[in-house]
Chains A and B, each alone.
Chain A
């Protein structure tokens, strides 16, 4: 089992499984999170990541497996043991924050302390220091409906942190915020995490959020862990086609490696040859394999490489995005703003970096449909992505 970094693991899951009405939601998951790390569970909706989080919180009971936190067993099937959620000492931020509409900020944040035998003065002191930590000083008397979305989120965070939990669980904490606030809260979360040193397990379906936040990234699909590792590791060298597409938004190609002198090339099914840097371990037998290549790793020029035709293009502000065709293969390509090509123009391609991937099970349809209204550059980019995917099949 691969675990985050080399330090002591705070959270350990072994062969955890859970089925709802016979349909497996989480299947045989094993993972470990190092003390003080921010680990992110990334996956499309319905991949079981939230179920996994809720099992760690104790809100769902696994069918089998073992969950351990700081050396304490929280759940195990053999011998049977189950620590109820209110005894686990875990903080959690819910997706919709779950702020109690009938309680003020002060009462909400002090609630976890009031379930213990803390003295009034102690409670007051802790609450005000936690509120200061999330920058909500002086808001004790407000009710949730008097707060903005970002403030509500911080109240939920304060409530989760007030007992100094061993583990903080974040269930899609940023998905209800607008783009600007989301950026601010990412910074805020990182700051709070480093100030408190708490171990964090964070769930999201947004790959950019995951890449920006995570110390350790766990990608899930269909209830299983596809790959875990440092974010840059997963981005640069995905091991499965799912991870390549979901984390790196990469093109997938079927090709065979051909060696020509000191250079390597990829031979596409139609016989076209693409000059390409190929990782050494995937060289060899000349059999056809699957490769992932990021759009920005396809180098476009007017000469020197394999020729391809530009089918579509889109302007994204910081770059141009194209769909190009070589034989029967279509690729999504990204170039700097200054390099402009017209639709129908013949260009020449080289691949800077590819990774060899193993085929995963097909991506569920929900991944391909973006959630929420797509507008502006973001929406355009999404539409472009989808088009590329469709083409590359």
Chain B
């Protein structure tokens, strides 16, 4: 009966048009550029040639080294902090959570800029150390692969933290109680029950960090490129810079494969590792007692987070108020001029406006398309190939920004659709790159909405459009808005796509951050832009939290 109703609905209403339009859009926006890249990377000899070339080989090796390093660092600190906050009697938990949230809000690229201003060759801390201890060379060098690992690893901590905290919170407390009643000490319970049960969560977080590490562009470009090191993303950027199409395509495909493999593992771990656990309502988990280590551990955690999360933000804030970067930080040297100039002076004002428009436009397109895709996937299951549509639409998760940009260039430079050098290409790239996020958020809400709500509308005689507009959309509206906001935030601070696709007049905030610091503007102006990005991100995440109904924020 249900099937007949469903099939009948399908045949004779506007949904056929929606299906055709959506499929076409997804194929054009997502599949076409990726296929272009893959086709241009053939024949297969290319791969052998590329891997023998030292440049590409080194880039691949560096990518692996950096990603593994980032994953290790983030997993270590992320899981430890989650364990401390969720499962022990640590005092000042709010401070620790706040620190992690601050890391979550800070874009890694902005963090890297702050680290340069603090610990770079002319950084404030470096200079102070040099003058105090009379050193000729700074005791460290930030412009190395290890520097990239350090900075990116720290900003990936929240990913592992979230995954681990979720796993720990969802664990059934009776598992631990059973161990304790069986005679196990706290430490033994932790090692034999708590951690093994949280392991899938930790691993899933780790693989997600790896995906982000592989895709990272801004931080390696800032810290590794100047010293001649390159990773795959920066190498693709460079290859496009000197029109080496073959290299760009080959490395892009390699990068996608690497990223897809990690993402697949992440999903597999999440799927398989979801032990049958449930948060028992009403019963609180007994926290592990830290005993006499309570305050020493708290001090270390709080100081660590204050330094790595708070320090860079203070630095950025301070330097955005300086008359010129490098001046000592004192009242006399402070000004609001930088802010005045970024909102008024040509290129930066334009960049802010462009970013706002592109991000809003991309978010809107992605939200509309994501809504259509989710509806098709979750409500037209009779159709074959629906899962394929979902797979294609979420594929950009495994496509790092520079690769997406490269795909867009190759896809849209030829007639009849010559979009390269127009604002449209950035809009399209944003839509394609961030489509998976709206598909996931809207899909999740739609999946949770009982189908009977809709079916009763049908049986009451409403047309499809009426039922969708009057019942479905109002119910899932918050999910759609949350997805929109998420995409807007990511697009607003995005760097590689616009850096590779912009032209005179279509500069964005990302371009500004990436290019401007080498030009006349100077670090103090870039810092002001970074502060604007930070404030906007904080406000936006707050809105997302409210929309998703999370009262205490995402952590």
Indicate which residue in A87, A102, A116 contacts B197 across the interface (CB closer than 8 Å). Answer: A102
A307 interface residue per 8 A CB criterion:
no
CB contacts (< 8 Å) of B183 on chain A: these are 86-87, 89, 112, 115-116, 163
Provide the main secondary structure of the chain A interface: loop
Nearest-CB residue, chain B, relative to A171: B174
Please state if B181 and A100 are interface contacts (CB–CB under 8 Å): no
Which residues, 54 to 106 on B, are CB-close (under 8 Å) to A? none
Residue of A59, A88, A111, A160 near B286 (CB, 8 A) is A59
Instruction: State whether the Cβ of B52 lies closer than 8 Å to any Cβ in chain A.
Output: no
Interface majority SS on B: helix, strand, loop or mixed? helix
Q: With an 8 A cutoff between CB atoms, is A272 at the interface?
A: no
Q: Considering only CB atoms, which chain B residue lies closest to A85 in the complex?
A: B180
In chain B, positions 152-199 with a C-beta closer than 8 Å to chain A are 172, 174-175, 177-185, 188, 192-193, 196-197
Residue B275, interface by CB 8 Å: yes
Indicate if the CB atoms of B185 and A102 lie closer than 8 Å.
no
Most buried by A among B177, B180, B183, B197: B183
A91 to B177, CA, bound (A): 11
A58 — which chain B residues lie within 8 A by C-beta?
Answer: 180-181
Contact A115 B182 (CB under 8 A): yes
B17 within 8 A of A: no
A284 located at the interface, meaning its Cβ lies under 8 Å from any Cβ of chain B in the complex: no
Write the nearest CB–CB distance from B515 to chain A, whole angstroms.
Answer: 51
51-86 of chain A: CB within 8 A of chain B: 57-59, 84-86
Q: Which residues of A contact B180 (CB under 8 A)?
A: 58-59, 84-86
Task: Chain B residues near A85: list those with CB within 8 A.
Answer: 177, 180-181
Of the candidates B178, B182, B184, B276, the one having the most CB atoms from chain A within 10 angstroms of its own CB is B182
Residues of A within 8 A of B275 (CB): 101-102
A159: B residues at CB distance < 8 A: 178, 182
- Of the residues A95, A115, A145, A156, contact of B276 by C-beta under 8 Å: A145
CB distance from A329 to the nearest CB of B (A): 40
Picked from B175, B181, B276, B277, the residue with its CB within 8 Å of the CB of A90 is B181
Q: Which residues on the B side are within 8 Å of A57 (C-beta)?
A: 177, 181
CB of A92 within 8 Å of the partner chain: yes
Q: Is the beta-carbon distance between A101 and B197 smaller than 8 angstroms?
A: yes
Determine if B276 and A94 form an interchain contact, defined as CB atoms under 8 angstroms apart.
no
Residue in A92, A95, A102 whose beta carbon sits within 8 Å of that of B181 in the complex: A92
Residue of B whose beta carbon sits closest to that of A107? B192
Tell me the bound Cα distance from A95 to B174 in angstroms: 9
Would A92 and B286 count as touching, CB distance under 8 A? no
Asked if A100 and B178 make an inter-chain contact with CB atoms under 8 angstroms apart, the answer reads yes
- Residues on B with C-beta less than 8 A from A87 are 183
> Are A111 and B192 neighbours in the complex by a CB distance under 8 Å?
yes
Other-chain contact of A102, B178, B184, B196 (Cβ < 8 Å): B196
Complex Cα spacing A88 to B178, Å: 13
Min CB distance B171 to A, Å, is 10
Q: Which residues of A contact B174 (CB under 8 A)?
A: 94-96, 98
A102-B196, A115-B188 are known contacts. Are A91 and B179 too (CB-CB below 8 A)?
no
Distance (Å) between the CB of A143 and the closest chain B CB? Answer: 10
In the assembled complex, which residues on chain B have CB atoms less than 8 Å from the CB atom of A102? 196-197, 275
A residues near B192, Cβ cutoff 8 Å: 111
Q: Which residues of chain B from 193 to 243 have any CB-CB distance to chain A below 8 Å in the complex?
A: 193, 196-197
Contact A86 B276 (CB under 8 A): no
The answer to whether A86 and B181 have CB atoms under 8 Å apart is yes
Closest A-B pairs by Cβ, 3 of them: A112-B182, A98-B174, A98-B178
Q: List 8 A-B contacts (CB under 8 A).
A: A58-B181, A59-B181, A85-B181, A98-B178, A100-B178, A100-B193, A101-B277, A115-B183
Given contacts A89-B183, A92-B177, A94-B174, 12 further A-B contacts (CB under 8 A): A58-B181, A86-B183, A94-B178, A98-B172, A99-B178, A100-B197, A101-B276, A102-B197, A111-B179, A111-B182, A116-B183, A160-B181
